[in-house]
A and B are shown apart, each in its own frame.
Chain A
């Protein structure tokens, strides 16, 4: 079955530090990969996505590259801000089920950015 493994948190960084959150996956077929973010007290929002190998998703200064050879989709940001404090979820969708593009999520990584 499909699975997503992401680095355990929590991660605490100072403002303007470099962020990497590792994510690796196991899937049948050729999945699409996503990073979702959950701010305190809120629902899930899509941060970025990539649908095929070597694609780079980017948004709000965050980036992740779909690496098929290493089955990875690591999230990076060059300079984090306090407002980036949230829980980040790596997820995949392989669309292998008929009529379903269900997401398989990792456990989430809580990021705290301190001034």
Chain B
């Protein structure tokens, strides 16, 4: 069964450092997403990506965040200068074009900023 894979599973970084979270979406999917879940809180939408550009982003997704699909298979989230409050589980998801089709989620990357 196809799945979304994310690497690394856990990353620890120092405040102010840049991190790149990586995702390989399901190959025939067209919509890609990043969500985050701060410990004990709800899952929050960050950004969606379609046709090689950002299609929507939330107010959380400020200038320190960026996304890229560098090679047609990977989908990355870059956080330029990490803050303590960026510590969270980051989920990548992908979906097909059909309305109502489920989004498939990866296992997540736990980011800890120290």
A interface residue numbers (CB < 8 A to B): 32, 34, 36, 42-46, 49, 51, 89, 91, 93, 95, 97-108
B interface residue numbers (CB < 8 A to A): 31, 33, 35, 41-45, 48, 50-51, 55-56, 91, 93, 95, 99-108
Q: Do the beta carbons of B99 and A95 come within 8 Å of each other?
A: yes
A46-B103, A103-B93 known, 11 other contacts, Cβ within 8 Å: A36-B105, A44-B91, A89-B43, A97-B55, A100-B55, A101-B31, A101-B103, A103-B103, A107-B41, A107-B42, A108-B42
A-B contact count (CB 8 A): 69
Q: A51 to B14: give the CA distance in the assembly, Å.
A: 43
Q: Do the beta carbons of B56 and A105 come within 8 Å of each other?
A: no
Q: Do the beta carbons of A99 and B33 come within 8 Å of each other?
A: no
The residue in A43, A45, A51, A105 that gathers the most chain B C-beta atoms within 10 A of its C-beta is: A43
Q: A43 to B37: give the CA distance in the assembly, Å.
A: 11
Q: Which residue of B lies closest to A48 (CB)?
A: B102
Give which listed residue, B50, B56, B99, contacts A32 with CB less than 8 A: B99
20 A-B pairs whose Cβ atoms sit less than 8 Å apart in the complex: A34-B102, A44-B43, A44-B105, A49-B100, A49-B102, A51-B99, A51-B100, A91-B43, A95-B99, A99-B48, A99-B50, A99-B55, A99-B56, A100-B55, A101-B31, A101-B99, A102-B56, A103-B33, A103-B43, A103-B45
